Every structure is written in C-alpha cells, then in structure tokens.
Structure 1
C-alpha cells in the first residue's frame, strides 16, 4: 500500500498566532499563514500546534476551492482526522473541531501574501476583542498599515520624529463579556454528503459578572474621530466611523483606546450609562 504524502515528510513549523486568553469576546481565535495550498504538507504541523494549545483535533473544515486535491482524511500521530470542504466556508477561514467540542476559528492568510501584511493580519486575528471578520481582515490590516505609513511621513515632513505604532490595527473588547459576538462566522452549511461542524460551545470560564460598583462610561464616537483627525490619522478615523457605535464604552473598548493612544480623560468628560 502506498503511504500517504503527509507520511513521507515531517510537517513544517506552522506560522501561527493564537489569541492566548481564550476570550469569549472575539471573532477569531488566531491567524495562520501556510506556505502553500497543499493540505497534506501544511495541515499536519498546524494540527499538532493546535493539539498542544486547545486539545486534540478530530475534524477540520476548509474552503472547497482553495486547497489542492481536497483529501477527505489526514493521518497525524497515529490518528485519522476528517477533512470537510464547503463552498460556503470563506477561503480566509479554517475551523478546527476538537475532541472536547471546542472550536478554533483561524484566519488563513494566502501563502503569497507579503510578510509585513501577513504578520499584521495574524496579529489582529489573535487580538482579543477583534471586530473584523476573516474575509475583511487582510484589507483592514493593509489599510491600517498604510495609515501608519502616511502618518509617519507627514510627521517627518513637518520636522517631527515618527512614533512607534502598534503591530496591529486598533481592536478592543467591544461585546458583552462571556459571549461570542453575533457576527462571528457561523458553521458553514454542508455540501452534499457532508455534515456541518457543531456549534461552538460557550466557554463558561470567560463569563464575567458585573458588580454594582462597575459603571458604564461612554464617549461619543465623533469625539474620538475628531481627535484622530487632528493628529492626521485619517485612516484610523475612517475605521472608527465605520466600525464603532455612536457611544463608545470606555471599559469594553479600553484595549481599543489604548491602541489608539487615546486617554478618555483627555477627550472630555465621559457620559455615565
């Protein structure tokens, strides 16, 4: 019997970024940048890495048009995993179903992507509270990188010294604690003779109980936009106008405000909710 291709060579070390806190308030669990579209060459290393972090994988769900050959099974460390391919699964998304019924959703960065953009996209995908869906994440990372470059060039022309910008676009926890946002990618609809992955189970350890002492403080979105435009950070200001609510919660969006280098105390008096 001829051995399978993935048994002939050891899996390469995956280029993988995983959100470390297992937050229940994020769209994705991390990002992965494969070196090719050969599933037998790329998937074993990824499976082993996720096994160590989240528990043994029993099934992978992938886009039907992205991968070469679409093999239906994969042998890794003495066990066989099922591979499901769906046209409804975004090409930029891979879903791993673990034995404990946990689910890991990863951004898939195309192999030919430029290194700086790939790293920025993976960093955003692995950020707790990320608001950007996988199909839009590369575009968002590219826009934010361009915004940092424009801002640095503008400061240099004005005689100032560029400040160090964060590695990823601004993100922050913007959804009720302990629950995945409604916009998270739902399990794909199955193609004939395939079953869709089970729904993601809520991680009860992430549930946060709001105490009476906690208050909801908000800042008007236009105040944040105005502060960014005064700095010349128009790309970030445009992103805030598109993605954030009219009133920005200073607690849930604390990570976002820190990434934007904005101090709520300097933006005016927050409004109590």
Structure 2
C-alpha cells in the first residue's frame, strides 16, 4: 500500500529555512557530489572565484539562507576580496551595482517569478556583463534523481508537478529558459551540455551512506518519514539495493547526470 505525499511534504525549497539548514548539515556531501559540475562552470564557489580574480577584483556571494551565509563568511575569514550578503537574488538591490559577471550553480531554478527575477539580475550587470548558470537538464536524462524518485513512488504517491514549477528541473526546457532571458534583456545563451557520473552522497560514500544522505537531505525523505517508520524503512532498503547496484569501490555510488551550462550577456 502507498500513501499520498502532500505538496507541503514535497516542497523542499524553503532555502531561507529548512532546506538551507539541510544543505549546511550535509554540505561536504552535497559539495562533493557536484564539485565536477562547478569546475565545468569555471567557478565552483565564491571563494574559488575570489582566488581567481585576485587582488584586482572582488566577489559578492548572495544566498537567501542565513545559515549558509554564516558558514560562507566563516570560511572566508581573512580573504579580503570576498564578502557575503543574505538576500533574495530575485529582488536584491545593490549599492555597488552594476557588476561584471554573475555565476550561479543550481541556484536559479527556484525563483517563484523567474521573469521578474532575471530582469532584476540583468539590472545588476554592466552592459556586456556575463552571466553563467548551471541548471539540471531534463529529468529523464538525470537517472540519479529519477531512479531515486522511482523508489520513493513505490511507497508514497507523489503527484507530478508542472514542469516549470520552481524546483530542480524548472529550467530543463531550454526554450523556456531562452524566453525568460530574452524578456530580461539578455542575449541568446550559449549552451554547453555537461554529462558525467556523480557520486551520490559524495566521493567514496558507501551505499548505506548514500541512502541515509538522500533520506535526510532531500524532500522525498520528509514525505517517506511522515508516512511512518515501516514505510521509511522499506524505502531505505530499496534505496540501499539501488545504490548497491551503482556502487564502485573507491569511487562511490556513481549515477549519471545531465546539466546545461548556460552563458549569456546583458
């Protein structure tokens, strides 16, 4: 028997609160899982970008989560050319704008009003300034998530969201992204496809570690937990079996992804 997950159970995008705290509590595993994608984007984190621009440049990191901003600020102590601001990038106004470049790694798909949000971002860039985004490609091309969702759906009825609803795959449709950027005043984006195998729960994680990470850090974990301990345990066993099939000793639980790397100018 399955139970039905409510939209509230699956929302999982309260980045200013619960989801930000979840990311922080599992930050090493999250960062390890997507590190190669950040490298492909030519800028993994604000700290890496600050190192790249050196003393002649400066970096401002913006995040809606006060918990993540506090951790980033702690890590940046002593690095003079980087600072952090807790704000919503969709609406933020900056006294020192406009800037030369904007970089976002999986942070742009959660805007409630993407057309307005990207219009605001356009205003933060100098004419000719560049924006680089990493966003997930179509769900069918991301088995790391879809196979995990398949396990969850065997135990909890999960309604299919509108493909353009805020969430990890909101920008999977490139025509939709191009329309948003065009309305905001950006050039037609250059699109590079990036695919690799990513380590669920970070490099070297055992299947048990990956299963516990997925249940503790992703929205489906809450829905499964609220369905009861028996449902949660059964789902964990199925996840363990899935991740064991994808486990390679010395590497971790390796599953395929597909990412769009987008570059556009203001």
Q: TM-score range by the shorter chain?
A: under 0.3
User: Of the two, which has the highest radius of gyration?
Assistant: 1
> Scaled by the length of structure 1, what TM-score is found?
0.25
Q: Which has the higher contact order (CA 8 A, sep 6+)?
A: 2
Structure number with the higher helix fraction is: 2
